[in-house]
Structure 1
Amino acid sequence: MKIKQIRNATLRLDFGGVKFLIDPYLAEKDAYPGFEGTLNSHIRSPRLPLRTPMDDILGVDAVIVTHTHADHWDEAAVKLVPKHLPLFAQHEKDAELIHSQGFRDVRILTEDTAFSGVSLIKTPGQHGSDQALAVAGELLGEVCGVVFKHPDEKVLYLAGDTIWNAHVKTSLAAHNPDVVVLNAGDAQVPGLGSIIMNAEDVRKVYDAAPRATLIASHMEAVNHSALTRAELRVFSEKTGMTDRLLVPEDDEAYAF
């Protein structure tokens, strides 16, 4: 497999002979106001420009949208992603929205989905703590991850927008992945805390998956990200994770 960090949670994944685009967030720098009610809401997003050419981003066979929050599926993606591409959504509600935006081949992820020989296994996540969901569950919404499997590939687990919890622990135990992508920018909502993984959550995944290489994604691109790449790298050195934790810059790629 080859995984390229594009920006935020946007990835280009080449896996089992299939090219996937994941969670496209494609607007120009500063295109949108900050997310209201979140940390640093006065800062516009995306905070960083795209460094990968659009032809490389869009030259794929299929698209996966783990959920339709605007930093995973934005107005620019709706305009730029070719409408004929197969597009996988987490459930019927998201699929209906994407279909209404003109996409003709929208499919729903399940625990037994396949595409061109690649198994796509939907996994659960939780976009914040139990307290956060109790207060703002409608806003935070439902999210998912995906496990990718193919006979000629190592197992990849894309955890999605989730904090460390029983869902992640169970998915790690069930699928024993070789590579794990974590949305690790510690996005914050004041009063509700982290709604994606922070450094301590990354450490918990590291301990729970002792044979897996971890890749930290979803960092620095949106206004409410509290954890920088530099801070996570320092934490990784202090806690002994540098042997298995990768913290890519945008447009950086890894092959496994």
Structure 2
Amino acid sequence: MTIKALASSLALALSLTTSAALAQTPTASTQQSATEKVQLQQIRNATVKITYADTTFLIDPMLAKKGTYPGFEGTYRSELRNPLVELPMPEQDVLAGVDAVIVTHTHLDHWDDAAQALVPKEIPLYTQNDADAGLIRSQGFTNVRVLSDKAEFGGVTLNKTGGQHGTDEMYALDEVAKFLGDAMGVVFQAPGHKTLYLVGDTVWRDEVDQALAQYEPQIIVLNAGYAMLSDFDGSIIMGKEDVLRAAQTAPNAQIVTTHMDAINHMAQTRQELREYVQEKNIQDRVEIPEDGATVEF
């Protein structure tokens, strides 16, 4: 074999070896398209731990013992004391590993006296507006941040979404509107992770449709206990029909339901929701975790 032919053969062998190696090595785009796990642990009521991009967020901590507070005046079953059930684990286990807290609004069942006493005062804590931030700062917290639009934390993009914590009929009355106040939802995003939409305390409104269309979430967390006021038809948060609507509106999304069975004015139970999703044949799309249970996506 001539030197020229030998060089040509070596070049061909090197080319084939390099091509094989490249074929076995994932490209950057392939690595980014791989989906990392998203973990959600139902604690109690609307209190949830979301671990996303290796960052753990505690949502709406209500940490009091069973029966600590009177029922919400002017609401369904107000004679019952809140919370209706105990935490499924010690408070320190709820707080273990938490990197940041998100308080969607400061109603007692989302941010109670026990949480104010137990949550570390220096932990990063996100609120929906300056009013809530000011209140929580006045309670001694030193790292309070307003999620006015979007924020970056621990490799996660947090996007604020809107809604309304009750019907237009309720908000037409100033006293009721003041009692219900504002609440936010949050969309979680990170490369390689399924987009998660925490809808928050709202009824179904245009803002929900807009968030679904804009972010196309693969995971939707719905507050689905159908909480009711005494003198009004309808609810101040979502219920079973909204779970069905979410499944129909976002056919590629898995739905996790929370905010049930723990507060006096919840008019829909987990058991009722389980029967409904079976009836509508969407049980494979809907997670209804018990307190303490964890789901992964």
TM-score (norm 1): 0.98
In the alignment, the residues of structure 1 paired with residue 224 and residue 65 of structure 2 have an alpha-carbon distance, to the nearest angstrom, of: 22
Q: Deviations over 1:3-46 (max 9, x none)?
A: 00000000011111111110000000000000000000000010
Note if contact 1:164-1:205 (Cα within 8 Å) is conserved in structure 2: no
Question: Residue 58 of structure 2 aligns to a residue in which SS?
Answer: strand
2:125 equivalent to 1:122? no
Alignment of 1:178-193 (within 5 A): 178-192=218-232, 193=234
> Which residue number in structure 1 is paired with residue 202 of structure 2?
162
Choose 184-193 or 137-146, whichever is displaced more: 184-193
State whether structure 2 residue 294 is matched by structure 1 residue 253: yes
Q: CA deviation at 1:184?
A: 0.2
Residue identity in the other structure for 2:119: V
| Aligned residue in 1 for 2:80 | 43
| Paired residue secondary structure (2:267) | coil
- CA displacement at 1:204 relative to structure 2: 1.1
2:190 to 125, 130, 150: 150
Bigger mean CA deviation after superposition, 144-153 or 108-117: 108-117
Cα distance in 1 between the residues matched to 2:62 and 2:92: 15
1:55-134 to structure 2, matched below 5 A, reads: 55-59=92-96, 60-134=98-172
Contact 1:184 1:198 in 2 (8 A): yes
Match of 1:242 among 283, 286, 295: 283
Letter in 2 for 1:115: F
State the identity as a percent: 50
Residues 1:138 and 2:175 aligned together: no
Q: Which amino acid aligns with 2:141?
A: F
Deviation at 1:52, TM superposition (A): 2.4
Partner of 1:24: 61
1:145 and 1:66 map into 2 onto residues whose CA distance is 7
Match of 2:33 in 1: none
Rg: which structure is higher?
Answer: 2
Q: AA paired with 1:4? A: Q
Query: What's the offset of the Cα at 1:152?
Result: 2.5
**8 Å Cα contact 1:125/1:167 also seen in 2:** yes
Residue 190 of structure 1: how far off its partner (Å):
2.0
* Distance (Å, rounded) in 2 between the aligned partners of 1:152 and 1:132: 41
Q: Residue 9 of structure 1: which of 38, 46, 64 is its match?
A: 46
Tell me how many residue pairs correspond in the alignment: 256
SS in 2 for 1:240: coil
- The letter for the 2-side match of 1:160 is G
Aligned-partner SS, 2:94: helix
For the residues of structure 2 that align with 1:71 and 1:253, how far apart are their CA atoms?
A: 21
The residue that corresponds to 2:12 in the other structure is none
Partners of 1:244 and 1:236 lie apart in 2 by 9
Greater per-residue helix proportion: 2
Q: Which runs of 5+ in 2 are unaligned?
A: 1-37
SS at match of 2:172: helix
Between stretches 30-39 and 134-143, larger displacement belongs to 134-143
Shift of 1:132: 1.2
Give the equivalent residue in structure 2 for 1:227.
268
CA distance in 2 between counterparts of 1:49 and 1:211 reads 35
Q: CA deviation at 1:145?
A: 0.2
Higher share in strand: 1
Mapped partners of 1:85, 1:31: distance in 2: 25
